[in-house]
C-alpha cells in the first residue's frame, strides 16, 4: 500500500518521517513519500494513481483544491473549505481535515487556560483550520491580521459561519498597537515576523507557532526566552494531525509516541546540519 504528502514546496515536510515511523512501529509494510505538486496540478496527479494508493496528506497550496477534487468530504473539511487529507474510499477520494482536531489537541496538550479571545496572523487555509479549532475551544472573539483583507475573505467567512457564532474582525498585520488577547496563532513565514510584530505579541500568554521549520522562528524564540508563557509548536500540530491521518489511512491505531520521537529526532538532525 502507498501513501504520501503533496505540496509545493514539499521537500521540507516531516510527514514521511512521522508516517514511516508509524509503519515501522506497527509492522505495516507500507510506503510513504513526498511529491511536489504545484497549484492547479492536483487533479492530474490524482488521475494517475492506482488502487494501491490509500491516503494522501495535503499541504499548501493544495488544501482548498483538495476539497474540490474529492468525491465527498467530512463535516470539518466542508466547514473549513479546505482538506489536508484525502482517503481512498470506494475507488474515489474522500476529503477530511485533521488540522482542526489536531490543533485542538495540540493546544490542550500544552495548556488548560481558558481561551476567550485570539489573534491569527495570516489568512490562508491553515488560519481557517486553527481558527475553527480555537472557536471549538471556546474562543468568542477573533481578529485575523493580514496584509490584504481580500485574501482573507474565505477564512473570515468560514470562521463567521461556525455554529458557535464568534465575532470575527480583520485587522492590518502591520498595525502598531500591542496584541491584547488570550492566544495568538502565527501562520506567517519567518520573514514576516518582524521585530515590531514580535514585540506586539510580547504580552500574549499563549503563542501557537504553526511552523516547525525553520525552528525556532523569531516569534517562538521570543516566547522561549520569556517566563510563564506557553508555546505550542508546529511539530505539536503536525504530530496530532498525522496521528489522525495514520488511522484514517490504515485503520490501525497510531503509535503517537514513536511518531513524535521520530519527528523530534529529524528536526534535531536538521538543526545540526
What digits encode the pLDDT tens for the residues 81-126?
999 999 999 889 999 999 999 999 999 999 999 999 999 999 999 9
CATH fold of 101-234 reads Rossmann fold (3.40.50)
Domain limits, the chain: 2-97+242-272, 101-234
Instruction: Tell me if domain 2-97+242-272 and domain 101-234 are identical in fold.
Output: yes
What is the distance between the alpha carbons of residues 255 and 49, in angstroms, rounded to a whole number? 27
**pLDDT higher than 90, residue 272:** no
Q: How far are the Cα atoms of 5, 11, 29, 45, 119 from residue 50, in angstroms, in the given order?
A: 16, 23, 17, 11, 43
What digits encode the pLDDT tens for the residues 194-228?
999 999 999 999 999 999 999 999 999 999 999 99
The residues carrying an active-site annotation are 63
Residue 233's pLDDT is 97
Residue 91's pLDDT is 87
Query: What is the gyration radius of the CA atoms in the chain, in angstroms?
Result: 18
Burial of 150 (0-12, 13-18, 19+ CB in 10 A): exposed
Residue 247's pLDDT is 98
Q: Which CATH number fits domain 2-97+242-272: 3.40.50.10860, 3.40.1160.10, 3.40.50.2020, 3.40.50.300?
A: 3.40.50.10860
Residue 151's pLDDT is 87
Residue 118's pLDDT is 98
Cell of 147: 496584509
The band of 176, judged by pLDDT with boundaries at 50, 70 and 90, is confident
Question: In the 8-state DSSP scheme, what is residue 92?
Answer: E
What digits encode the pLDDT tens for the residues 21-53?
999 999 999 999 999 999 999 999 999 999 999
**pLDDT higher than 80, residue 273:** no
User: The pTM is what?
Assistant: 0.95
**pLDDT higher than 80, residue 55:** yes
What is the distance between the alpha carbons of residues 104 and 134, in angstroms, rounded to a whole number? 7
What digits encode the pLDDT tens for the residues 115-166?
999 999 999 999 999 999 999 999 999 999 999 999 899 999 999 999 999 9
φ, ψ dihedrals at 101, nearest 5°: -65, -30
Question: What is the DSSP track for 181-246?
Answer: SSEEEE-S-GGG--HHHHHHTTT-SEEEE---SSSS-HHHHHHHTSSS-EEE-HHHHHHHHHHHHH
**pLDDT higher than 90, residue 183:** yes
Amino acid at each position: 500500500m502507498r501513501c504520501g504528502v503533496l505540496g509545493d514546496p514539499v521537500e521540507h515536510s516531516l510527514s514521511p518521517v512521522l508516517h514511516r515511523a508509524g509503519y515501522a512501529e506497527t509492522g505495516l509494510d507500507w510506503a510513504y513519500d513526498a511529491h511536489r505538486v504545484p497549484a492547479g496540478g492536483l487533479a492530474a496527479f490524482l488521475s494517475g494513481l492506482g488502487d494501491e494508493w490509500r491516503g494522501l496528506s495535503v499541504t499548501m497550496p493544495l488544501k482548498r483544491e483538495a476539497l474540490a477534487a474529492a468525491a465527498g468530504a467530512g463535516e470539518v473539511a466542508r466547514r473549513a473549505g479546505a482538506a489536508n487529507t484525502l482517503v481512498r474510499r470506494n475507488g474515489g477520494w474522500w476529503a477530511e481535515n485533521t488540522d482542526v482536531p489536531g490543533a485542538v489537541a495540540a493546544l490542550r496538550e500544552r495548556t488548560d487556560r481558558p481561551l476567550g479571545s485570539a489573534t491569527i496572523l495570516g489568512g490562508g487555509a491553515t488560519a481557517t483550520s486553527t481558527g475553527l479549532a480555537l472557536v471549538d475551544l471556546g474562543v468568542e472573539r477573533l481578529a485575523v491580521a493580514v496584509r490584504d483583507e481580500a485574501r482573507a475573505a474565505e477564512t473570515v467567512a468560514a470562521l463567521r459561519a461556525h455554529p458557535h457564532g464568534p465575532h470575527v474582525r480583520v485587522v492590518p498585520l502591520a498595525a502598531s498597537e500591542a496584541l491584547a488577547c488570550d492566544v495568538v496563532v502565527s501562520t506567517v513565514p519567518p520573514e514576516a515576523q518582524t521585530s515590531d510584530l514580535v514585540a506586539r505579541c510580547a504580552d500574549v500568554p499563549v503563542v501557537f507557532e504553526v511552523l516547525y521549520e525553520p525552528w525556532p522562528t523569531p516569534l517562538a524564540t521570543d516566547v522561549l526566552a520569556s517566563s510563564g508563557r506557553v508555546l505550542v509548536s508546529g511539530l505539536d500540530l503536525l504530530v496530532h494531525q498525522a496521528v489522525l491521518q495514520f488511522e484514517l489511512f490504515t485503520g490501525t491505531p497510531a503509535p503517537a509516541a514513536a511518531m513524535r520521537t521520530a519527528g523530534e529526532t529529524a528536526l534535531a538532525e536538521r538543526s545540526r546540519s
